[in-house]
Amino acid sequence: FHPERTVVSVPTADGPIDIGGEGPLVCMAGPCSVESEAMILETARRVKQAGARILRGGPYKPRTSPYDFQGHGESALELLAAARTATGLAIVTEVMDTSDLEAIAEVADIVQIGARNMQNYSLLKKVGQQPKPVLLKRAFSATIDEWLLAAEYILAAGNPNVILCERGIRTFDRQYTRNTLDLAAVPVLRSITHLPVIVDPSHGTGLSQFVESCSKAAVAIGADGLMIEVHPDPARALSDGPQCLTPDEFDAAMANLASIALAV
Ligand code: PEP
Ligand code: MN
């Protein structure tokens, strides 16, 4: 039993970033994968200017095909650390394997568990035993109870700082969107859990043209934050180009979101 909402506080050089509770909307933004030093530094600077406080980006990518780009690994992790030093942004990045956790948790301010690993219970236990906050993405076909029980693995292992991320689920129509963004999950979760909830409209829709409208809806329905993919040149992205906003598009989306965030 837990009557108060959990506020996950991420310490940074510019002061703590609070996710959940009554604080302002927190935006995590950046590329799908960390491709090069120039692109991660440029993206970091631009998303920070636009108002994001947390930089996302994957050195380790869980790709559906083994023949697709798998991420640059350790060298990209160092680039994320460099981007944090250069901008002061906090870092969220995905861990796929328990053997990489220690190195990732050294750089990450928030450790991400991707949709494909939501029910990787040995990984959940391990992230539960380390102190960095955990962003737990919903699996493609997970019910809300399965998702909350996955979160429970992390909490039960000793880590109280879990953020839930709705990123779209698999339904019958994949012609117009990559996934079906389950926005109703936000108020549902609000009514049954104390954990903060954010929304990822990039993976949720799979198409950049729908990211801003779904971000607005997510804010209006009560999300504590957003995760948005931004790439300096989406057409050349090594992964998820079609759903990445350009830095200019991200600027516009953040400006348009501000009025909604103030209104709700
Ligand atoms: C990601 O955020 O980089 C990612 C792979 O997302 P998901 O696990 O939601 O597919
Ligand atoms: Mn992606």
Read off the pLDDT band of 175 (50, 70, 90). very high
Ligand nearest to the CA of 117: 1
User: How many angstroms does the Cα of residue 1 sit away from the middle of ligand 2?
Assistant: 35
Q: How many domains does the chain have?
A: 1
Residue at 4 is within a domain: no
Read off the pLDDT band of 263 (50, 70, 90). confident
Surrounding ion ligand 2 within 5 Å at CB are: 32, 240
**Does 167 contact ligand 1 (Cβ within 6 A)?**
yes
Each residue's pLDDT tens digit, 203-258: 999 999 999 999 999 999 999 999 999 999 999 999 999 999 999 999 999 999 99
What ipTM goes with this model? 0.99
Could you list the residue range(s) of the whole structural domain that residue 171 is in? 88-263
Query: How would you write the chain as a 3-class SS string?
Result: CCCCCCCEEECCCCCCEEECCCCCCEEEEECCECCCHHHHHHHHHHHHHHCCCEEECECCCCCCCCCCCCCCCHHHHHHHHHHHHHHCCEEEEECCCHHHHHHHHHHCCEEEECHHHCCCHHHHHHHHCCCCCEEEECCCCCCHHHHHHHHHHHHHCCCCCEEEEECCECCCCCCCCCCECCCCHHHHHHHHCCCCEEECHHHHHCCHHHHHHHHHHHHHCCCCEEEEEECCCHHHCCCCHHHCECHHHHHHHHHHHHHHHHHC
**Does 32 contact ligand 1 (Cβ within 6 A)?**
yes
User: How many angstroms does the Cα of residue 92 sit away from the middle of ligand 2?
Assistant: 13
Protein residue with its CA nearest to atom 3 in ligand 1: 32
User: How many angstroms does the Cα of residue 2 sit away from the middle of ligand 2?
Assistant: 33
**Does 137 contact ligand 1 (Cβ within 6 A)?**
yes
Residue at 163 is within a domain: yes
Residue at 252 is within a domain: yes
Protein residue with its CA nearest to atom 6 in ligand 1: 114
C-alpha dihedral, 77 to 137 to 25 to 171, nearest 10°: 130
Residue at 62 is within a domain: no
Answer yes or no: is pLDDT of 1 > 80.
no
**Does 114 contact ligand 1 (Cβ within 6 A)?**
yes
**pTM of this prediction exceeds 0.80:** yes
Residue at 216 is within a domain: yes
Q: Atom of ligand 1 at shortest distance to CA of 112? A: 2
Q: How far apart are the first and last CA of the chain?
A: 28
